[in-house]
Amino acid sequence: MSSLLAQAWAIAAKDLLLEFRSRTAFLSALVFTALVLAIFNFARDPTAVSAVDLAPGILWITFTFAGMLGLNRAFGLERENHAMDGLLLSPASRTALYVGKTIANLAFVGAVEAIALPLFALFFDVPLWPVLGPLVLVIALATLGFVAVGTLMSSMAVNTRFAELMLPVLLLPFLVTPIIGAVQTTARILTHRPFVELVPWLKLLTAYDITFVVLCTLIFEFTLEE
Amino acid sequence: MAAASVSGAAAVLEVAGLTKRFGHVRALRGVDFALGLGESLAVFGPNGAGKTTLLRILAGLLKPDGGAVRFGGELLVRGNAAHRRRVGLISHHSLLYDGLTAAENLVFYGRLYSVAEPRAAAERALAGVGLAARASDLVGTFSRGMVQRLAIARALLHDPDVMLLDEPFSGLDQGAAATLRELLGRLRAERRTMVLVTHNIDEGLELATHVAIQVAGRFVSLGSRDGDLAAYRARYAEATARDV
Amino acid sequence: MTAIPSAERSLRRSGLWMGIALVLMAGVYVRALAFTPEEATQGLAQKIFYVHAPSAWVAFLAFGIVGVCSALYLFLKDPRLDLFAASAAEVGTVFTMTVLVTGPIWGKTIWGAWWTWDARLTLTLFLWFIYLAYLVLRTAVEEPGRRARYSAVLGILGALLVPFIHVSVYLFRTLHPMPVVLRPGRPELPGSMLITLLSAFTVFTLFFIALLARRYAWARLVDARAQGEAERADTSR
């Protein structure tokens, strides 16, 4: 077990080192996020609809699409020089590969979200500071489910002809639950609703995360063997 | 062609009745051979003969449909990490990350193979292939020949029992090929068991103690290499002509 | 080589079953239109229900089959399971589209709006997206072994996703009329309509099975022919 984590960590660290060196994917995701947030501003009539009403939806659509940009990166970088063969040749377990890639993706998407969130608060004049704790919790819950399934889907999508199109087609149906849960909880958090109203949604998000993290971890090796 | 052990020595690598199909295409239709310590097999054959498939099964990257592969008597089992520890693969792809330095690449692989003290092992491996001076340079800046040397260092890092080489000379210029030949000669002197796959008959014959010709998924010829290279060339030309 | 005649026989047999199922369907719908009373408030439009509800049942049943066959394939590796799952997915997609077409027609007539994000229809919409993802994935992967594995992974994940989407959408909103047959206590439908409905369910299921068998027989025939060709190319080497 500890060797599985050690291998997963080695893989994640390698991915993050590569990304840190080139920064291309990360910067692209950031620019994309800022642009999408800015465009949303022009997509609504500020006199008709208040920012707080639309804010949760805008935030989560932005997170989703920026996140999806980053997901294909994880297995895409193994195509260079057939590095994937190097990983499969090694004694590292397939599960360690999945866990490592998921950790790297979580770090990537988390970093994008960490920068997008204050930008969002700025653009839409939404006071986040008083509710930051619960908000971060919800973001973490939804992101975990999103990244776990997204990493698995991208391991398949990168082997198809139009990987960038294939990933959304495969992944978006699976994002219905995290997005509905995230938007509903975010809306209630921003309007300071009592905690009891959040509970059913939090339960749903947690159940989804547990189910799909376990399932994806177990099923991942079937996307690799030949 | 039914072939039993290649020599009398105890088998480091033993392959029996290997078959593999992809959909409706039969890539391997029964391959048998055995190699003892220090023996190396060169497998020649035209494209599409299934040589790479054979090598990938030996490397643990593919599972055979039928037959068995044994390392030192131990049967290769599906998903067997112990098996993968015993082989090293050198391919015409480098399997390296251009965005990492030479040392970082080796340390990473060292960690995956649970090599003790990966940093020290990486330094030794780099020195062994003459790349110690370039340890902190990004692999993306390396020439093709240097990449191939680093790939050898990577393959040897965990001291495998069996070395597998898939068209290692492809894409190399004269100088790089000479360096590679020298390195491989050293491996042979170290009595490493090797399986080399290539469609270029000249390169393989130097290194091999045994030679096989593979056509359409099976060995049509298998035996120890003797001095008469011309005979091999003739047999190879005949076998490939038949296949067309 | 013996695979081809056997596949051709299956194809002919399933054609016969389809014919029978179609005749039975015609019978049930004649009954539905001519011999079943009209519903008081909804009028003639309610009769769409006899197509809409059984289609929904079949759509979800088909995906259940996809899920089960996918799981079995990953354990047993039998390519016939993959062919069967793919056939079920194609047939299921068609029934799902039937639901998505009859639903809005019915909705427009009784609620005045084509699409109201009603919980059940929304779930069916997402089922349709999952089906499409499955079919698109299959077209995007060339190698048959990999295609089968990827489809199986998606099939299992999709099958487990459906209950989550159901809960998500249900928590979000509910507009659908209460389930008339499955309510605890006595069903709301008067006897005659209930019989028509249950007959419709039965006949639709039969039609689905026949259609699935035919699609699967066709897939096996195509596969057997491809194998025959590959073998011919083989032996000539």
B227 touches chain C (CB under 8 A): no
At residue A161, φ and ψ (nearest 5 deg) are: -70, -40
Give the alpha-carbon dihedral of C26, C28, C33, C39, to 10 degrees: -150
Query: Is the model's pLDDT at B71 over the cut of 80?
Result: yes
- Assign residue B91 the CATH number of its domain: 3.40.50.300
- What's the pLDDT at B199? 77
Average pLDDT, chain A: 92
Across the interface, whether the CB atoms of C152 and A222 are under 8 A apart is answered: yes
Chains A and C: how many Cβ contacts under 8 Å?
Answer: 81
Neighbours of chain B (3+ CB pairs under 8 A): A, C
With beta carbons less than 8 A apart as the criterion, state whether A178 and A208 touch. Answer: yes
- What's the pLDDT at B79? 56
Beta-carbon contacts of A202 under 8 Å, excluding residues fewer than 6 positions away, are A138, A141, A181, A185
Chain C residue numbers touching A160 (CB-CB < 8 A): 137, 140-141
In a domain, B211, yes or no: yes
Element holding C179 (H helix, E strand): none
- DSSP strand pairing (B162-166 vs B33-36): unpaired
Q: Among the listed ranges B152-166, B230-244, C15-29, which one has the minimum average pLDDT value? A: B230-244
pLDDT in tens, A150-178: 999 999 999 998 888 999 999 999 999 99
- C165 vs A156, A176, A225: nearest CB: A176
Q: Which domain holds residue A34?
A: 2-223
ipTM summary value: 0.93
How many Cα neighbours within 13 Å face the side chain of A173? 29
Task: Please count the structural domains in chain B.
Answer: 1
With beta carbons less than 8 A apart as the criterion, state whether C66 and C96 touch. Answer: no
Residue with tokens 């994008």: A112
pLDDT in tens, B189-213: 888 899 999 877 777 777 788 888 8
pTM of the model: 0.90
- What's the pLDDT at B227? 60
A219 touches chain C (CB under 8 A): yes
The structure tokens listed for C81 are 């399971």
Task: Please count the structural domains in chain A.
Answer: 1
The structure tokens listed for B215 are 């056509």
Distance, in Å, from the CA atom of A104 to the CA atom of A19, rounded to the nearest integer, reads: 10
CA C126 to mean position of chain CA atoms: 14
With beta carbons less than 8 A apart as the criterion, state whether A105 and A150 touch. Answer: yes
In a domain, B9, yes or no: no
Across the interface, whether the CB atoms of B112 and A10 are under 8 A apart is answered: yes
Q: Which of C89, C62, C69, C83 is nearest to C204 (CA)?
A: C62
Interior CA angle at C219 toward C213 and C224, to 5°?
Answer: 120
Chain B residue numbers touching C234 (CB-CB < 8 A): 26
With beta carbons less than 8 A apart as the criterion, state whether B193 and B33 touch. Answer: no
Chain C residue numbers touching B243 (CB-CB < 8 A): 237
The structure tokens listed for B102 are 């030479």
Distance, in Å, from the CA atom of C120 to the CA atom of A51, rounded to the nearest integer, reads: 31
Beta-carbon contacts of C203 under 8 Å, excluding residues fewer than 6 positions away, are C21, C24, C25, C27, C28, C54
Compute the average pLDDT of residues A43-53.
76
Distance, in Å, from the CA atom of C193 to the CA atom of C49, rounded to the nearest integer, reads: 11
pLDDT in tens, chain C (237 residues): 567 888 888 888 888 888 888 888 888 888 887 777 777 676 777 788 888 999 999 999 999 999 999 999 999 999 999 999 999 999 999 999 999 999 999 888 888 889 988 888 999 999 999 999 999 999 999 888 999 999 999 999 999 999 999 999 888 874 344 444 433 333 456 777 888 888 889 999 999 999 999 999 999 999 999 888 888 877 765
Average pLDDT, chain B: 85
Element holding B133 (H helix, E strand): none
- What's the pLDDT at C181? 42
Neighbours of chain A (3+ CB pairs under 8 A): B, C
* B82 vs B78: which has the higher pLDDT: B82
Chain C residue numbers touching B25 (CB-CB < 8 A): 230
B114 touches chain A (CB under 8 A): yes
Compute the average pLDDT of residues B145-149.
90
Chains A and B: how many Cβ contacts under 8 Å?
Answer: 77
In a domain, B30, yes or no: no
At residue C45, φ and ψ (nearest 5 deg) are: -60, -30
With beta carbons less than 8 A apart as the criterion, state whether B43 and B196 touch. Answer: yes
Q: Which of B53, B27, B47, B16 is nearest to B217 (CA)?
A: B27
Residue with tokens 């040589």: B51
* B214 vs C151: which has the higher pLDDT: C151
Q: Which domain holds residue B125?
A: 38-56+81-243
Residue of A162, A180, A197 to mutate for C, most C C-beta atoms under 10 A: A180
Across the interface, whether the CB atoms of A90 and B112 are under 8 A apart is answered: yes
With beta carbons less than 8 A apart as the criterion, state whether B20 and B28 touch. Answer: yes
Compute the average pLDDT of residues A4-31.
93
Q: Where are the alpha helices (DSSP H) in A43-93?
A: 51-76, 83-89
B26 touches chain C (CB under 8 A): yes
The structure tokens listed for B201 are 């008959």
For B243, name the nearest residue in chain C, comparing CA atoms only. Answer: C237
- pLDDT band of B77, cuts 50, 70, 90: low
Distance, in Å, from the CA atom of A224 to the CA atom of B61, rounded to the nearest integer, reads: 10
Compute the average pLDDT of residues B91-101.
92
Query: Is the model's pLDDT at B2 over the cut of 60?
Result: no
The structure tokens listed for C178 are 């209460």
- What's the pLDDT at C177? 44
The structure tokens listed for C191 are 């006897």
Domain ranges within chain C, ordered by starting residue: 3-178+208-223
Chain B residue numbers touching C229 (CB-CB < 8 A): 24
- Other C-beta atoms closer than 10 Å to the C-beta of C131 total 25
Residue B51 to residues B47, B216, B220, Cα–Cα distance (Å): 8, 9, 13
- DSSP symbols for A133-179: HHHHHHHHHHHHHHHHHHHHHHHHHTTSTTHHHHHHHHHGGGGHHHH
Across the interface, whether the CB atoms of B96 and A89 are under 8 A apart is answered: no
The nearest CA of chain A is from the CA of B226 a distance in Å of 33
Across the interface, whether the CB atoms of A10 and B111 are under 8 A apart is answered: yes
- C130 vs A160, A173, A181: nearest CB: A173
